[in-house]
Amino acid sequence: MGKRVLIINDKSLKRRLIRYALSKHGYEIVGEIRKGYEAVSLYNECRPDLVAIDISMHQYYQGAMVIFLIDSKARNIILEDTKNQDLNIKVLEPGEMDYEVKPPDDNQFLEAI
C-alpha cells in the first residue's frame, strides 16, 4: 500500500484530479475535505503520511493557517492556483513552515511525494 494522503482543496474538480493522479500511482486517499476548519479534525482522525493542501484557500481558515494547526511533524505538499491557472508546488518537510513558488514540470508532484 502506498503512502496515505489527505487532500484539502475547496474546488471539487481539483480534488478529483489530485485523487485520480495519486490513486493511479498507488497512493491511498484517506480523506478529502473542502473547508480548512474541518481539516484539523479530519487530519487527527486519519493521521495521513502526507497532506496535499491548496494554500490559496480563503474560506474560514486560510490554507496557510491549516498547516500551523495540524501536526507540526506532518509532511505537506502545498498546491497553489495562480491567477493564470498554473499549478505551483512546494514540498514542506516535517516542521518546515516556509513557502516558495516553483513552476512544476509534469512529474514534479509525484516526485515530491
Task: Write the pLDDT tens digit of every residue in 76-111.
Answer: 666 665 554 444 555 555 555 444 344 444 466 666
Instruction: Give 51-74 pLDDT, tens digit per residue.
Output: 887 766 665 455 555 665 666 666
Q: Which of 53, 91, 47, 35 is nearest to 71 (CA)?
A: 47
What confidence tier does 30 reach under pLDDT thresholds 50, 70, 90? very high
First-to-final CA distance of the chain: 14
pLDDT at position 35, please?
79
pLDDT at position 84, please?
43
Residue in this structure with the C-alpha cell 479530519, named with its chain if needed: 42
CATH number of 4-112: 3.40.50.2300, 3.90.245.10, 3.40.190.10, 3.30.70.141? Answer: 3.40.50.2300
Which is more confident, 99 or 47?
47
pLDDT at position 101, please?
42
